[in-house]
Chains A and B, each alone.
Chain A
């Protein structure tokens, strides 16, 4: 029997699943670095987070929402990995499970599942954990390559936290900077922090892979990083004694992870190029504001969540350039 359907009769080999697993592949270098520096603790957190994210996705879909199961499309796996990347590697196992429940249950499924959530699920969960368990979420294990030790017991602050604390205690930057990791160490990821955010290099490699595979476009990461660089650069030029230099601001904390993997989350980012640039600008600006004047040393998660909230407005305000409207407008 012949089939009748509207054109087009071709479909590209693009699929949601392909995109999601593409993101997973892009996350592998950073995952490797995490395990390298934070040891089996990191691996445990990642496995727990992914496993329970998948479990909650299946459980909620099966018993609460109904409809066809989507755990195989990879979106829950991406959320799980990103959640793990956003927590310290020594987080207790039950906190990771709570995190997975919050990410999938509150962050994603309560809105109706994939594609309907307003906020990035992994970040919702991270912020939830941060305000619920502030101590556990801010005691960062010191990185040491897996070859040297298997157990991570020593904890210390992140470079950003160290600066914030030091400045709060009335010290000057000149006193504090010698204790910070070098740029090379920051690039490789040899510093304290959430397990996936430390290595800027690994994250950039993942970002380039996603750009090459056309999973993301350049607008959001570039605008976030550029804004952070420029705004912190201006502050640094005004008073290098009080504000850290822009390169430090780019390489430390969650900026790289946020710009490349969290802000670019398709579901929660704007649809048009102009909107994406504004979105990235907003994230960069809020991040620097929180870092410099906020109560927390790091503000990427809050910045992204805040900008997520205005995405519907951005979508409304920024329309793509319509064909054949140039003359009408002028």
Chain B
């Protein structure tokens, strides 16, 4: 019996030794050098793997940014929209570089064609996909530029930041938005735009993308931009341009004076998170402003305690 034990131990021992030697050679021959900084960068990234930076996941972003930092000595073109400036600062620190701060952005839905403003003219039956409906027809309200309300943007969002409002049939962005841009790509009608969040979340934008003549546009939706040009004239900062009957506010030039909001005849220009004006109750009593006002209060409370961006990133990391 003894020799059986010895033989088995010997056989297994030799086998283990041979395997170990093979493994050692293989490991050293096929060793892939990986910059340890890639791992470091990856740990500070939000790990949402949303692709908002343009790379397929956080790991790919870490690899690409580390490589680029080594080669070009800059982080130009690399920005994690989810983590924002804080995360990018950490990434830059790891890579030993400086970065310019970017203004925080947010997704903005530029359509106000709710059931009330743009009543249904036809009844749609089919799959709930904007992409499909877009190929089929103009839309229930008749506006061929407006929101179809079938929620491709909601499906695309990884952060639970955009939801359909069943009362209006339009998507609403909440403060979980990280400006990753997934909804912008998902929307077949380019209604959603990434805009600057603005100081204290104040922003002004044209909530319409209808490029048709004013008469046609207003026929389908009472809050459409008719391209009248009043806002363009009143703007002192050249922030507003009108192309094919549609006004657009350049958020880099806009100083938030709110004059355009006052002159807009169809209430197509929105101001968000401003304090309601006392002398002009007409604007303040816009029905669509209601949910936003609630949001303002919430954010003001947060702002008193600490910077609201911190709270945002914390939430998105959860």
Contact = CB atoms under 8 A, between A and B. Distances in A.
Direct A–B contact in the complex, CB atoms closer than 8 angstroms: yes
Interface of A: 1-6
Contacts of A1: 120-123
B137 interface: yes
Nearest to A5: B125
B123 A6 contact: no
A2 to B, nearest CB: 5
Contacts of A5: 124-126, 136
Nearest to A3: B123
Contacts of B124: 3-5
Contacts of B120: 1
Nearest to A7: B136
Contacts of A2: 122-123
Nearest to B132: A6
Contacts of B125: 3-5
Interface string B134-164: 0011001000000000000000000000000
B122 A3 contact: yes
Nearest to B135: A6
B142 to A, nearest CB: 11
Contacts, number: 24
Contacts of B140: 4
Contacts of A4: 122-125, 136-137, 140
8 contacts: A1-B120, A1-B123, A3-B123, A4-B122, A4-B123, A4-B125, A4-B140, A5-B125
A152 B122 CA distance: 66
A6 B125 CA distance: 8
Interface of B: 120-126, 132, 136-137, 140
B136 A6 contact: yes
Given A5-B124, A5-B126, 7 more contacts: A1-B120, A1-B123, A2-B123, A3-B122, A4-B124, A4-B125, A4-B136
B128 to A, nearest CB: 12
Contacts of A3: 122-125
Contacts of A6: 126, 132, 136
B256 to A, nearest CB: 41
A4 B148 CA distance: 13
A2 B132 CA distance: 19
The 6 nearest A-B residue pairs measured at CB:
A5-B125, A3-B123, A4-B122, A5-B126, A2-B122, A4-B137
B141 to A, nearest CB: 12
A179 B46 CA distance: 78
A260 to B, nearest CB: 36
Interface hub of A1, A4, A5 (most chain B Cβ within 10 A) = A4
Contacts of B132: 6
B277 to A, nearest CB: 39
Contacts of B121: 1
A2 B142 CA distance: 12
A38 B124 CA distance: 56
Nearest to B120: A1
Nearest to B125: A5
A6 to B, nearest CB: 5
A5 B123 CA distance: 8
B25 to A, nearest CB: 39
A4 B138 CA distance: 10
Interface hub of A1, A2, A3, A6 (most chain B Cβ within 10 A) = A6
A1 B124 CA distance: 10
A66 B312 CA distance: 35
B179 to A, nearest CB: 34
A5 B137 CA distance: 9
A79 to B, nearest CB: 30
A327 B212 CA distance: 50
A4 B124 CA distance: 5
B193 to A, nearest CB: 28
A3 B137 CA distance: 11
Nearest to B140: A4
B188 to A, nearest CB: 15
B144 to A, nearest CB: 13
A6 B127 CA distance: 9
A1 to B, nearest CB: 5
A11 to B, nearest CB: 12
A2 B122 CA distance: 5
Contacts of B126: 5-6
B121 to A, nearest CB: 7
Nearest to B138: A4
A7 to B, nearest CB: 10
A77 B123 CA distance: 37
A2 B123 CA distance: 6
B309 to A, nearest CB: 40
A9 to B, nearest CB: 10
A6 B121 CA distance: 17
A8 to B, nearest CB: 12
B169 to A, nearest CB: 16
A162 B123 CA distance: 67
Nearest to B121: A1
Nearest to A2: B122
Contacts of B122: 1-4
A1 B121 CA distance: 7
A1 B120 CA distance: 9
A78 B120 CA distance: 44
A249 B132 CA distance: 54
A5 B122 CA distance: 10
A6 B131 CA distance: 13
A2 B126 CA distance: 14
A209 B125 CA distance: 36
A3 B123 CA distance: 5
Nearest to A1: B123
A3 B126 CA distance: 10
A155 B130 CA distance: 65
B227 to A, nearest CB: 28
A1 B119 CA distance: 12
